[in-house]
Structure 1
Amino acid sequence: MNYTVLVVDDSIFHRRRLKEMIEEDARLKVIDAASNGKEAILKAKELSPDIITMDVEMPVLDGISAVKQIMQHQPVPILMFSSLTAEGADQTLDALDAGAVDFLLKEFDNKFNPDKDVGFKLRSKILTLVRKRHTLKRQTRDIAKLKNAPKTFIRAEKTLVTAPVAEPVKIISGVVKSGKTYKCLAIGASTGGPVALQKTLAVLPASFPYPIFLVQHMPGSFTEAFAQRLNQTSNVSVKLAKDGEKVQPGVAYLAPGGRQMLLKGTSSACTIRITDIEDDGRILYKPSVDLTFFDIAKVYGGDVLALILTGMGSDGTEACTRLKRLGATIWAQDEKSSVVYGMPGAVTKAKVAQVNIDLEHISQCIKSEMV
């Protein structure tokens, strides 16, 4: 099947370069290009592309404003391009809040860029995201509510999506408290995760009694801004994890991008380790859900509720398998509400996740089970 792409960028060079990289895959066709957000809105309506690539900073109308209007009238997957700066991080998070489904760093400024993965990453994300067009409007509306609410409260993996789950998946919208003992909550996410994490944490009370460990695939320059944003929209305290700090109940620790968040000690005296681990070809992500969750298993044993949210690939499945053997509770986001059902699909297909839960109900399920 072939898919159509609308490229939006104010630079002629970037538009041409994107077209070249995208059309290296015969399944993808750039049907047109726009040089600003206003043109993008008109062409999106006229051409109904399967996906849009969108720059942030453009004349006439910026990318974030264009995303808001496009998602309001004709929802379509939008892939943002971001600069590797603090300002770029904030702008990208704003775009994701507005309804964009994912982002890539703008690494193709130099046509002699030796990083051959740039084109692969771009094509991989496009092919994955065009298959997911539902729930976009609802997610945009949900995040708008979070942003307006007062605070009272990357290296790509080769596997784009997992195979369909053979057996019927148990999908729930609520839980009855099991009475199981818990000592921490662990959450892993990738593509679509920034929005999913905001929704998941938003309803948890400030008195949440356990530490929370968050692993989101994200560049290092983005995670500080993302931690601040989560802290603004959550009741619990959210912070970027620091090396050597002691874990406290009721605090959510976000793994820094580009590094690994590990743990040492005991469940009553746990300390965070932020470290660099030599890439031997097996570690696909920095941070890695598997690496963090394996250490969570060592420290907390089976007294864990582990949750795998939307994301590409299968990061987290191996460690969740270990956690389940120790008696941990494993949940996964359901396919319908996931931007990409890779990670939650993998842990479900492996028969590790006990249930799948719609994003709309995850936070309340956590609250019902753990509080």
Structure 2
Amino acid sequence: MTKYKVLVVDDSVFMRKIISDMIAEDGRFEVADTAKNGLEAVEKAKRLRPDVITLDIEMPEMNGLEALKRIMADNPTPVVMLSSLTEEGAAETIAALEIGAVDFVRKPSGSISLDLFKVKSLLLDKLAIAVMTRMARPQPVRPTPPVANVRPTPSFPAAKPKELTINGSGGRVERLVAIGTSTGGPRALQQVISALPAELPAPVLVVQHMPPNFTKSLATRLDSTSAIKVVEAANGDRLRNGVVYIAPGGWHMIVKRDDMGYRVCLTKDEPRSGHRPSVDMLFESLLPFRELKRHIVLMTGMGSDGARGMQALKQAGALTTIAESSETCVVYGMPRAAVELSCVTHELPLYRIAAKLTELVGRDAGGKP
């Protein structure tokens, strides 16, 4: 059996040894070489043409982010980042995912520690997914222009979303967008969320499979590049039009209704299909709300999380079910599962999803398509 070639990049001799040994123990992979900094990584990626690269971020001479940019420009290769648990490390990891890294593995809390063995199974799983991904030279993410003449209903006047008080009063919520994604999701979300108009007459709920701390950095990054307001959801948040709520890592995000409207509820229920947050948990929580005009989206990701929930929502009267098409998915898993259940009304490439949502939600809210 042909083994996948791995290039291991880390400035620590100890870490290179530990990571290489873990990979070598798996019969699917072989370590083609190692590199101690970004400059070596770029040169060896070009010369060795590995199937996948593990890449540290903090390195001398050329850091991981700069090396990643060069690798993706010169010789696009699946990359799994090794990320620290610090706030800065999380922010850098989100940047790496936007540049084109397939996924990441958290380093243990010790900077150099045998605890790294605890992530062995996760690292090998991520590498196995990475070698199956579709790689291309990433194009700059540009906001998709909104569809002409689509306006929110007069009941929801255009606002300055960056100044909103999330738990304050706002327009009545009559429609809702829910998005689920996994591997490749941060870059896909950047493309979609940054193209949504500030005055979108609906709240947007997002489940991205990601651990704690990293979802906060994801929300902060998306907020800085988008017209629409983006926050990491907090328990009890009142849903507001023109606000995107990112499910926090380690928590299921569901929606509940009370006399004041709709609110976020975070739970520590058991993971679903290995995930917490789970897309299916969010989607299923929307089933009772037939009074809401619901628009549901599944984008790139391994597995089938969200497909059954999308099917149930379509049967419960959801107006729109969108699946990202295979041509732009990093991993065509979750959307494909939904397509195979025949519950998708629109199968679209990534660059068309925001415009379609803007059109459909605007039309639904009384705009003129």
What is the number of residues matched between the two proteins?
334
Give the structure 1 partner of residue 30 of structure 2: 29
For 1:314, give the aligned amino acid: S
Work out the CA distance in 2 between the residues paired with 1:190 and 1:83: 20
Give the corresponding residue for 2:47. 46
> Take 1:112 and 1:222, find their aligned partners in 2: how far apart are those partners?
20
Of 302, 309, 325, which residue of structure 2 is paired with 1:312?
302
Residues 301, 326 of structure 1: 8 Å contact kept: no
Note the C-alpha offset of 1:98.
2.1
**Pairwise mapping of residues 1-371 of structure 1 onto structure 2 (< 5 A)?**
1-107=2-108, 109-111=112-114, 115=118, 118-134=119-135, 136-137=136-137, 140-143=138-141, 145=142, 183-265=175-257, 269-277=261-269, 279=270, 282-300=272-290, 303-328=293-318, 329-371=320-362
Structure 2 residue matching 1:33: 3-state secondary structure:
strand
Residues 16 and 102 of structure 1: CA distance in aligned 2, closer, same or farther (over 3 Å): same
Instruction: Give the aligned residue type for 2:344.
Output: A
Give the whole-Å Cα distance in 1 for the aligned partners of 2:341 and 2:25. 34
SS of the residue aligned with 1:7?
strand
Q: CA deviation at 1:114?
A: 7.0
Deviation at 1:276, TM superposition (A): 1.6
SS in 2 for 1:298: coil
Tell me which amino acid in the other structure corresponds to 2:356.
C
How far did residue 24 of structure 1 move? 2.6
Q: Percent identity?
A: 40
Contact 1:301 1:323 survives alignment (8 Å): no
Mark the CA change 1:114 to 1:11 in structure 2 (over 3 Å): closer, same or farther.
closer
Q: Distance in 2 between matches of 1:104 and 1:215?
A: 19
What letter matches 2:199 in structure 1? S
Aligned-residue offset at 1:43: 0.4
- Quick one: structure 1 residues 275 and 122, their matched pair in 2 at CA, closer, same or farther if it must change by over 3 Å? same
- The answer to whether the 8 Å contact 1:5/1:31 transfers is yes
Question: Match of 1:40, SS?
Answer: helix
- Cα distance, 1:221–1:314 mapped onto 2, change above 3 Å: same
Q: Residues 206 and 197 of structure 1: is their aligned pair in 2 closer, same or farther, counting only changes over 3 Å?
A: same
Q: Secondary structure at the match of 1:299?
A: coil
The CA RMSD measured in Å over matched residues stands at 2.4
In 2: Cα distance, 1:243 partner to 1:282 partner: 20
Distance 2:204 2:275 in 1: 20
| Inter-CA distance 182–341: structure 2 relative to 1 (3 Å threshold) | farther
- Between Structure 1 and Structure 2, whose CA radius of gyration is higher? 2
Q: Secondary structure of 1:45's partner?
A: helix
Superposed displacement of residue 266, structure 1: 5.9
Could you tell me the TM-score, scaled by structure 1's length?
0.84
* CA–CA distance in structure 2, aligned partners of residues 112 and 57 of structure 1: 19
Deviation, structure 1 residue 302: 6.7
User: Which segment drifts farther, 54-63 or 259-268?
Assistant: 259-268
| Cα 1:78/1:113, change in 2 over 3 Å | closer
Q: What SS does structure 2 have at the residue aligned with 1:128?
A: helix
Shift of 1:113: 6.0
TM-score of the superposed pair, with normalisation by structure 2: 0.84
Cα distance change of structure 1 residues 340 and 14 upon mapping to structure 2, 3 Å threshold:
same
- 1:300-343 C-alpha deviation (Å, 9 max, x unpaired): 56721110011111111221121011121211111121111111
1: distance between equivalents of 2:348 and 2:259?
27
| Rounded Cα–Cα distance in structure 2 between residues aligned with 1:271 and 1:112 | 39
Q: Distance in 2 between matches of 1:232 and 1:207?
A: 16
How far apart, in 1, do the equivalents of 2:259 and 2:87 lie?
Answer: 34
Cα distance between partner residues in 2 of 1:272 and 1:121: 30
Structure 1 residues 245-294: Cα deviation after superposition (integer angstroms, max 9, x where no partner) = 211111111111111112111698101112222x2x64521111111111
User: In structure 2, how many angstroms separate the alpha carbons of the residues matched to 1:64 and 1:299?
Assistant: 43
Instruction: Select between 314-323 and 16-25 the one with higher mean Cα deviation.
Output: 16-25
- State the shift of 1:299 in Å: 3.0
CA displacement at 1:68 relative to structure 2: 0.7
Unmatched runs of 5 consecutive residues or more in structure 2: 151-172, 363-369
